[in-house]
Structure formats: structure tokens, C-alpha cells
């Protein structure tokens, strides 16, 4: 699982320490030295985590607040670095999940990143969309049953498509719709829950899950973990050279 984390700093020593520890945890560090640019980037891209130098970078504290206000990264894990101007309590109020004071001790940084990486992994699974082609059924507010196909899915939602454009009065954004589909695993199990319609464009719509029935939560999570394992296996196959593969006879 590749985790993407944006580091906002101009501190070369901090950059070196973060990259050294993050690489051991499978975290890819994206560097930005300008707070406004980082906020703009975060408004257009979802990231699993952020590390923000609040006090030693102009507008660093404001960047922390603005990034956490953005819907795309509201739940992303954030580590704030403070250096006398911002108190840990204020950093937490602004949205930080972890706070370290500068100068940063390597051991404390390593421990914080290990904890943060676990939360980043959860956020990755919640947001990352697995592409597929799976029949589903949703029910409109009028009670009409609508057959559709799930095009991608994550722990937090799905994108669906229909064979024909959906009339504007049938589904509109912010509608809450029941959804169900069969989980393609060894045990015959059905996913049932409710989702909010986030957006719709002709025959394609985006859903965010609001509720998943308790009896299918374990099966749904197991299926997502299977999709992740399959994705990682295919990625490993692409990396291996033909000579690295042993043909089984």
C-alpha cells in the first residue's frame, strides 16, 4: 500500500529526518515550501496525510487550518510541528492529530510517524477507489428501484453508472438512497446500507456511504482487503522481471 503524505516546510534538517523515517514505513513524501500553494494543491487532491511546519514557515499555521477545512482532506492524518509560537492545544484545535515540538528528536518523530502511518492506512482504505464492474440496486425517494453498475468503490463510497441518463427529478444531490449489492466472495452475502448522493452527471453518480448494516460490515471489509491484496499482487508482478518469475509445472 503506497501512502502519500505532503510535507510543508523549508527546514532541510526536518525534510531529511522525515524522509528517512517515512521511507521505512512505506510513506511517500511530497514536499512543498509554500503554504498557499500547498493549500491550493490540497483543495484539488486527496492525500493520506500531512506534516506541517506551523511556526517556521510563513502562513504555516493558517495552512493547517485551511487544509483541514477542505472536504477532500478533512479526515486525513495531520502531524503539526510547532516551535514556540503555536501551542500544542491550538494545533489540535486547528485539526492536527499529532503534535511535535521543534527541534524534533528522531526517536519521537519515528514513533509519531509509526502511529500516524496506521491512521493514514485507514484513510487510504476509506478513500482509495478500486475499479470494478458490479451490479447494484438503489431505491429513489419515490420508491422506484434503479438498476446500476458500480464502477469503483472504497470503504467510504462508490461511483455508479446507469444504462440511461437519470432524469433530474429522480435523483438529486443530497438524496439519501438505500443501496444493495452482492459481495463477490466465497460466502454468499449481500451488502445493504444507505448512501447520500454527492454528485450526478447524466448516467454517472457519486455516493458516500452513510450507514452499513452491521451484519454485512465484516464481509464488506474483508472484500476490500481482498481487493487491496489483489492490487498489490498485480503491482508486484509488474515490477518483477520475466527472469524473476518461476513457471510452475
Which residues, including other chains, have CB under 8 Å from residue 67's CB and lie 6 or more apart? 38, 39, 42, 50, 52, 73, 76, 78, 95
Strands 98-101 and 77-82, sheet pairing: parallel
Q: Is residue 103 reached through a cis peptide bond, with omega within 30 degrees of 0 on the bond before it?
A: yes
Same-domain pairing of 170 and 107: no
Please report which confidence band the pLDDT of residue 245 belongs to, taking 50, 70 and 90 as the band edges.
very low
| 32-59 pLDDT per residue, tens | 999 999 999 998 888 999 999 999 999 9
**Domain total for the chain?**
2
Residues across the chain: 249
pLDDT band at 130; cut points 50, 70, 90: confident
Q: In this structure, is residue 76 part of a structural domain? A: yes
Q: What is the pLDDT at residue 242?
A: 54
Average pLDDT for residues 215-220, to the nearest whole number?
A: 91
Query: Do 157 and 135 meet the contact criterion of CB atoms below 8 Å apart?
Result: no
- The answer to the question of residue 12 being in a domain is yes
User: Does 117 share its domain with 223?
Assistant: no
**143-187: per-residue pLDDT in tens?**
888 899 999 998 889 999 988 777 777 788 888 999 999 998 757
Continuous segment of H or E residues that includes residue 190: strand 189-201
> 171 near 142, Cβ under 8 Å?
no
**Interaxial angle between packed helices 106-127 and 12-24, expressed in degrees from 0 to 180 and rounded to the nearest 10:** 60
Residues 146 and 81 both lie in one domain = no
CATH number, domain containing residue 56: 3.40.50.2300
For residue 99, pLDDT over 70 is answered with yes
Q: Are residues 119 and 134 in the same domain?
A: no
156 and 86 in a common domain: no
Those residues with Cβ within 8 angstroms of residue 34's Cβ, 6 or more apart along the chain or in another chain: none
Q: Which of 83, 99, 127 is the last residue of a domain?
A: 127
143 and 110 fall within a common domain:
no
Domain boundary among 103, 127, 151: 127
**Domain assignment present for 245:** no
Q: Same domain, yes or no, for 122 and 19?
A: yes
Average per-residue pLDDT for the chain: 88
| 248 found inside a domain | no
Range of the domain at 157: 130-239
* Whether residue 103 is found in the same domain as residue 192: no
pLDDT digits (tens, 9 = 90+) for 68-91: 988 778 889 999 999 999 999 999
Same domain, yes or no, for 21 and 137? no
Same domain, 174 and 82: no
Q: State the number of CA atoms in the 13 A half-sphere of 152 facing the CB.
A: 12
246 confidence band (pLDDT: 50, 70, 90): very low
Closest among 155, 222, 148 to 178, alpha carbons compared: 148
How far apart, in whole angstroms, are the C-alpha atoms of residue 74 and residue 13? 28
Residue 247 lies in a domain: no
What is the average pLDDT across 228-232?
Answer: 81
99 forms beta bridges with: 80
Instruction: Give the pLDDT confidence score for residue 249 in this predicted structure.
Output: 34
- Whether pTM > 0.75 for this model: the answer is no
> Which CA distances in Å does 152 have to 5, 131, 133, 185?
23, 4, 8, 17
Amino acid at each position: 500500500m503506497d501512502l502519500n503524505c505532503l510535507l510543508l516546510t523549508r527546514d532541510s534538517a526536518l525534510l531529511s529526518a522525515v524522509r528517512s523515517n517515512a521511507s521505512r514505513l512505506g510513506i511517500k513524501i511530497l514536499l512543498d515550501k509554500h503554504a498557499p500553494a500547498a493549500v491550493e494543491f490540497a483543495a484539488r487532491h486527496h492525500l493520506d496525510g500531512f506534516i506541517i511546519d506551523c511556526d517556521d514557515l510563513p502562513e504555516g499555521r493558517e495552512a493547517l487550518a485551511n487544509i483541514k477545512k477542505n472536504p477532500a482532506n478533512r479526515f486525513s492524518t495531520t502531524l503539526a510541528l510547532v516551535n514556540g509560537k503555536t501551542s500544542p492545544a491550538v494545533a489540535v484545535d486547528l485539526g492536527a492529530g499529532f503534535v511535535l515540538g521543534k527541534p524534533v528528536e528522531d526517536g519521537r518523530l519515528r514513533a509519531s510517524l509509526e502511529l500516524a502511518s496506521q491512521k493514514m492506512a485507514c484513510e487510504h482504505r476509506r478513500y482509495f477507489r478500486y475499479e470494478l464492474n458490479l451490479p447494484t440496486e438503489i431505491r429513489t425517494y419515490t420508491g422506484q428501484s434503479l438498476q446500476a453498475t458500480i464502477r469503483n468503490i472504497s470503504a467510504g463510497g462508490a461511483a455508479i453508472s446507469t444504462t440511461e441518463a437519470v432524469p433530474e427529478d429522480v435523483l438529486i444531490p443530497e438524496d439519501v438512497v438505500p443501496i444493495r449489492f452482492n459481495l463477490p466472495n466465497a460466502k454468499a452475502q449481500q451488502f445493504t446500507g444507505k448512501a447520500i448522493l454527492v454528485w450526478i452527471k447524466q448516467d454517472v453518480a457519486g455516493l458516500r456511504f452513510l450507514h452499513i448494516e452491521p451484519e454485512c460490515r465484516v464481509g464488506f471489509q474483508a472484500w476490500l482487503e481482498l481487493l487491496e491484496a489483489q492490487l498489490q499482487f498485480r503491482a508486484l508482478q509488474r515490477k518483477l522481471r520475466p527472469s524473476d518469475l518461476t513457471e510452475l509445472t
